[in-house]
Structure 1
Amino acid sequence: MDKRIEKLKEINIILSKAISKSNKFWFEHILPSQSSTLSFEEAEKELNAILGEYPNDANFWRMLSNVKTYTMDYADAITALEKAIAIENKQKDKTQLMELSAHKDVVKPKPKVKKTTSALAKKDLPFFKYHPEPTLTGAFETDNVVTCDCCKKPTDVYYTGPFYSVDDIDALCPWCIADGKAAKKFEGSFQDDLNVDEVDDKQKLLELINRTPGYRGWQQEFWLAHCNDYCAFKGYVGWQEIEPLLNEFADIETDLANAGGLSLADLPKYLKDNGSCQGYLFQCTCCNKYRLYYDFD
């Protein structure tokens, strides 16, 4: 496969994760959340590297412009988009450039310095088979020091996502999720066991619902499976993020039909990260094929 296509896929995933946890909208004049900053920096680093090899690829300049727009570096975003226009001269880019230019004088605020005294922050995070990058997907927040409702210890890595329990839970640390203490103590689960694909192994189901951080959907979250095992949740996506991956899906047409009836031709119009039609990307832990779920607000 062409190195540029492979890089485009990799950086798209990084960028979509950064955007999904940035806690801001397009041209909203606030800095992205601290938890997303590292992902934006990683995407920018990868883009600068690949542009050194392929300076005439407009796709990478567009992506760099997107990064700079989210981080409120509007002058740099304009420069990158102008380079894309010089290469391909697309009307869509010109329209976006006009919109960008209207924000060029907005002053970027100074980032708040994160202070933490949490001893837990120095510990390695546990690995979650079905949610392997929870800080990148935004499942774990890292912008404050809180007390875990389960172990009562301070932590600056914590979960506030879906948890089905009669108790009112504010935050859970990764370690109480991974060892099952949180689910056991509060008799709860992180995923409704009725809203999962069928897998012929009860232990895998228990690992998913009791020891795996969930994700946030517009409606009821659904967890996909493949190769008789639950898939890994990879993040929140729109058409822009999945288009380079279309050849790597197990059966995207079936996924679309099962989720709500959209066709592949509908996706460029409707599917948008942080939009009214939100996509959720999963990947098989066995064959690495992708699967897609989506819902509407």
Structure 2
Amino acid sequence: MDKRIEKLKEINITLSKAISKSNKFWFEHILPSQSATPLFEEAEKELNAILSERPNDANFWRMLSNVKTYTMDYAEAITALEKAIALENKQKDKTQLIELAAHKDVQKPKPKVKKTSSDVAKRDLPFFKYHPEPTLTGAFETDTVVTCDCCKKPTDVYYTSPFYAIDDIEALCPWCIADGKAAKKFEGSFQDDVSVDDVNDQQKLIELTERTPGYRGLQQEYWLAHCNDYCAFKGYVGWQEIEPLLSEFADIETDLANAGGISLADLPKYLQDNGSCQGYLFQCTCCNKYRLYYDFD
């Protein structure tokens, strides 16, 4: 195998792993997770090394631009992509450069320890098997201190929707969700138990619907499963977010057919985060394969 192709594949694997662990999406203005940062650094180091030998290879400049985009180093991402364009002048790169330019003045945040005036929020957040990063996905808000409608305690980490109940619920703390108190007190659920894949285990369904924060869909939310267990919700995605992960999906063409019938070939034209066709990324908690659901506004 050509050493260049071999190196491209090697770095692409590292970059794909970094993206899958980053807990963020394309132009989301947050830093990658701590587990992803070393992988992005490794990919950047490898790219800089190969570019010192192959400065006229546009593919490596594109990959470096992708790394810098995820780490919010937008000025460096623009420089790398401009070098790729100078070498190959592809329209796709030019379009991406326009997007990058719109973010060039965004300040990269500094990692910081979250402070709170709420005693209850100083506790460690509970772990949700089917929604492991609810703060990063936006399921939990952290902009102010509110009172949980269930336990009546103050919290600066809280959930607002969706929650299906007769009572009008304004905010729930993570702990009342995790131990099932909120669902029991208000006789409600966080996911419609009809809008889920079939899993042959009633306790797993209870954990999903009564003890897991939901996500916001444009229409009715639907929860996917794999390996006879519900998947973990990873976040909101468009084509740019899932393209590097295509080889890691269980069966994306079946997912597309089940959700509404868009073909894989047409997906880049329609699927866009915060667009009219919104994607929702799930990951199997057993085999780590991805699954995709989407809907329209």
- Which interval holds the TM-score relative to the shorter structure? 0.7 to 0.9
Say whether 1:9 aligns with 2:48.
Answer: no
Task: Please give the TM-score of this superposition, normalised by the length of structure 1.
Answer: 0.81
Larger Rg: 2
Say whether 1:52 aligns with 2:45.
Answer: yes
**Structure 1 spans left out of the alignment, 5+ residues:** 23-31
> Is the deviation greater in 203-212 or in 275-284?
275-284
**1:82 aligned partner, one-letter code:** E
Q: Structure 1 residues 282 and 110, CA, compared in 2 at 3 Å: closer, same or farther?
A: closer
- The within-5 A match list for 1:18-33 is 18=25, 22=28, 32=29
Partner of 1:250: 250
Rounded Cα–Cα distance in structure 2 between residues aligned with 1:255 and 1:190 = 23
Shift, 1:65, TM fit:
5.2
Rounded Cα–Cα distance in structure 1 between residues aligned with 2:87 and 2:45 = 15
**Structure 2 spans left out of the alignment, 5+ residues:** 1-5, 52-59
2:265 is paired with a residue whose SS is helix
Partner of 1:194: 194
Q: Structure 1 residues 181 and 259, CA, compared in 2 at 3 Å: closer, same or farther?
A: same
Rounded Cα–Cα distance in structure 2 between residues aligned with 1:62 and 1:109 = 16
Please tell me whether the aligned partners of residues 65 and 78 of structure 2 are also in contact (alpha carbons under 8 angstroms). no
Q: Structure 1 residues 150 and 97, CA, compared in 2 at 3 Å: closer, same or farther?
A: same
**1:10 aligned partner, one-letter code:** K
- Alignment RMSD, CA only? 3.1
Q: Deviations over 1:84-124 (max 9, x none)?
A: 435654333234445655886x686999x986311233211
Task: Please give the TM-score of this superposition, normalised by the length of structure 2.
Answer: 0.81
Task: Pick 1 or 2: higher relative contact order, CA cutoff 8 A, min separation 6.
Answer: 1
Partner of 1:25: none
Partner of 2:185: 185
**2:199 aligned partner, one-letter code:** V
Partner of 1:283: 283
**1:62 aligned partner, one-letter code:** S
Q: Structure 1 residues 244 and 148, CA, compared in 2 at 3 Å: closer, same or farther?
A: same
Please tell me whether the aligned partners of residues 139 and 214 of structure 1 are also in contact (alpha carbons under 8 angstroms). yes
**1:267 aligned partner, one-letter code:** L
**1:47 aligned partner, one-letter code:** F
Say whether 1:170 aligns with 2:163.
Answer: no
1:295 is paired with a residue whose SS is strand
2:257 is paired with a residue whose SS is helix
Shift, 1:260, TM fit:
0.4
1:279 is paired with a residue whose SS is strand
**1:54 aligned partner, one-letter code:** L
Partner of 2:240: 240
> Is the deviation greater in 10-19 or in 230-239?
10-19
Please tell me whether the aligned partners of residues 18 and 136 of structure 1 are also in contact (alpha carbons under 8 angstroms). no
Rounded Cα–Cα distance in structure 1 between residues aligned with 2:103 and 2:131 = 37
Please tell me whether the aligned partners of residues 199 and 228 of structure 1 are also in contact (alpha carbons under 8 angstroms). yes
Shift, 1:79, TM fit:
2.8
- The within-5 A match list for 1:37-48 is 37-39=30-32, 46-48=39-41
Q: What is the number of residues matched between the two proteins?
A: 278
Rounded Cα–Cα distance in structure 2 between residues aligned with 1:231 and 1:50 = 28
